[in-house]
Structures are given as structure tokens and as C-alpha cells.
Amino acid sequence: MNPILQEVTLGNFLQTNSVVHKIDPRLKLGSVFVYTILICMFRGIYALLLTFVALLAVYKGAKIPLKALWKNLKVIVPIITIAAMVNIFLIPGSVVFEIWFLKVTKEGLIFTLMMFFRASCLVSGTALLTFTTSPGSLVDALEYFARPVRMFGGSPNEIAMAISIAIRFVPTLFTELGKIIAAQKSRVAPFDSPKLRERLRAYLPVIVPLFHITSKRAEDLACAMESRCYAGNNKRTKFRILRFGTLDFVALVLMLVCAVGTFWVDRWRLYS
């Protein structure tokens, strides 16, 4: 498969059959949520450092190569660098050293470091979820958490179905888009024009056929789904059934211990 397509369809997912992959996607999704909140609440650098190290250990356990993680982390490097350059000179406090008129303070250094680790923790944590959970299981987990919409007459089943189909359609659209662009190029569409205006205008005749083709395909898919007895009701059974097993229980306890532990480290180091 085309590597770009692969990336788009499967996202980050890397099947290594590790224990982490086998954990219930609901637990993984839920804990990433809690984890994100926790990371934002930490006030000291020690807890962040500790979390980052622990996370690297989980990556090892999940058999995800650190190179893959780096690909995700790379994205935030420019943002962090810009933010750091601003903060490091602007935060007042005890001066560590001076370059010409710029003062670097201890507070500024710590703040920058914390920002760096906070961002890294957030990115690597969420990336771990997508590395170890297939889009399908992720949708299952979403469906589970969408259950409350039933109270308002919504159907989590239909929401999940819509998301799955959207995911499934992405590669098709990409292929189609490629074809249309090639077709327009062969009619000398100015995609590479130095003028932005012209380039933008060249894309208009791409969007229109893309919409047309997409709606045709959607119609076909609807026919196929209907032919295969889809009626959008809640009587459907699931091919993949989520089971909260012993492994998940152990993982949950471990994560709770880690969360409470790091939180305690954070607050205790801060106030003592």
C-alpha cells in the first residue's frame, strides 16, 4: 500500500501484539483522558520528569520503537523552541547569566523546561494510545463512551458507524483526489503557478468533481449496506466484543498507583 495512504488509514497504529495492545480500548481511552488532565495539573518539574520516564518504559513494553515516537514529537519542536526563546528572557527572577541586555533567569529556565516536558508528555501519551489501538477498537471505545447520548434519543451505534465509514472513506477520497489533480494537470491547470491566487483558483475545478464522485460513491455504499441488511437499528450485534478482563484490571490498578504516586510527588516536592 502507498505509505501515505497507510498513514492516513491506520494513523499511527503499529501492530506488535504486545500486552499494551491487548488492553481494553475503553480503559486506554479513559486513562489518556485522565492522564491529560493530570499532566496539566502538575506544578513541578519532578512529577513531569517522572511521568516521562514511566511513559518511555511503557513504550518499551508496547514494543513501539522510539524512532516512531520521535516522528510525533518532532512536530512540536518548532513551537516549543519559539515559545522557549520568548519565555526564557522575559520571566523575571534571579538572574543566572546575562547576554548583552538579555537576562536569563532561573525561573525562566525552569518554566521553559517544564513547558518542554509537559508538551512531550502530552504528545507521547496520546500517541501511545494511537500506536497501540487500531482505529476500529478506538471507535468501539468511543461508542461505549457515547452511550449517554441515548438519553437524548441519539444512537451511539449510528455515531460509531458514521465514524467508521468516514475513516474508511479517507483513502478512497485520497486516491480520487490524486486522479482528479492528475487529470486537471494534463489539461495544464496551474497548480505550480508562483501566484497564490492562480494556484487557489486551480483547485476549484478539483473540489467540484470530488464532491460529485464522493456523493456517487456514498450512494453506492448506501445501496451495498442496505443490500446487506443494514437497517440502522439497535438490534445489531458486534463482531468485536469488548471484555474487561484480568489484564485490564491489573493495568487499571497499576495506572492508579502511578497517578496517585506522581501526584503526591508533585505536591509534596512543591510544598516541602
Q: CA dist 234 to 101, 158, 168, 238, 252, Å? A: 68, 9, 22, 11, 30
60 binds other proteins (CB under 8 A): no
Minimum distance from residue 118 beta carbon to other proteins (Å): 34
Segment 98 to 137, residues that bind other proteins, using CB under 8 A: 135-136
Minimum distance from residue 220 beta carbon to other proteins (Å): 4
25 binds other proteins (CB under 8 A): no
Q: Are 155 and 234 in contact (CB under 8 A)?
A: yes
17 binds other proteins (CB under 8 A): no
Segment 166 to 185, residues that bind other proteins, using CB under 8 A: 167-168, 171-172
- Sign of the alpha-carbon dihedral angle for 232, 238, 239, 240: positive
Q: Are 76 and 119 in contact (CB under 8 A)?
A: yes
Closest by alpha carbon to 58, among 114, 149, 125, 145?
125
164 binds other proteins (CB under 8 A): yes
Given the rule CB under 8 A, which of 92-100, 160-168, 203-211, 248-256 is the region that contacts other proteins? 160-168
Segment 217 to 246, residues that bind other proteins, using CB under 8 A: 217, 220-221, 223-231, 235-241
Q: What does the binding site for other proteins look like in residue numbers (CB under 8 A)?
A: 1, 5, 9-10, 135-136, 164-165, 167-168, 171-172, 217, 220-221, 223-231, 235-241
